[in-house]
Amino acid sequence: MKFTKLEKSFIILFCFILMAEIQTGMSYPFLHYFAKPALLVSLIFFYYKQNSSISTKIKQLTFGALIFSLLGDILLMFVDKSEHFFTVGLVAFLTAHVLYILVFLKRRNADKKPYLFSVILLVYGGLLFYLLKNNLGDMIIPVIVYMLVILTMGTTAYLRRGEVPNGSYILVFVGAILFMVSDSLLALNKFYEPLPFSNISIMFTYAFAQLCIVFGLLKAQ
What pLDDT is recorded for position 51?
86
Long-range contact pairs involving 167-171 (C-beta distance under 8 Å, separation at least 24): 167/1, 167/2, 167/216, 167/219, 168/216, 168/217, 168/219, 168/220, 169/216, 170/1, 170/216, 171/1, 171/212, 171/213, 171/215, 171/216, 171/219
What pLDDT is recorded for position 99?
99
pTM listed for this prediction: 0.95
Residue 140 has pLDDT above 90, yes or no: yes
Q: In Å, how far are 31, 117, 163, 167 from 151, measured between CA atoms?
A: 34, 10, 20, 22
Q: Where are the beta strands (DSSP E) in the chain?
A: none
Query: 63, 103 in Cβ contact below 8 A?
Result: no
Average pLDDT of 13-26? Answer: 90
- Amino acid type, 191: F
Maximum distance among all Cα pairs of the chain, rounded to whole angstroms: 51
What pLDDT is recorded for position 21?
92
Asked whether the CA dihedral 114, 147, 88, 184 is positive or negative, the reply is negative
Q: Which of the residue ranges 37-46, 77-86, 152-161 would you say has the lowest mean pLDDT?
A: 77-86
The domain segmentation of the chain, as residue ranges, is 5-218
Question: 178-210 pLDDT, tens per residue?
Answer: 999 999 999 999 999 999 999 899 999 999 999
Residue 175 has pLDDT above 80, yes or no: yes
- Amino acid type, 17: I
What pLDDT is recorded for position 83?
85
**Average pLDDT, rounded, for the chain:** 94
What pLDDT is recorded for position 156?
98
Q: 195: buried, middle or exposed (CB in 10 Å: 19+, 13-18, 0-12)? A: middle
Answer with the residue of higher pLDDT: 56 or 52. Answer: 56
Number of Cβ within a 10 Å radius of residue 18: 21
Query: 55, 104 in Cβ contact below 8 A?
Result: no
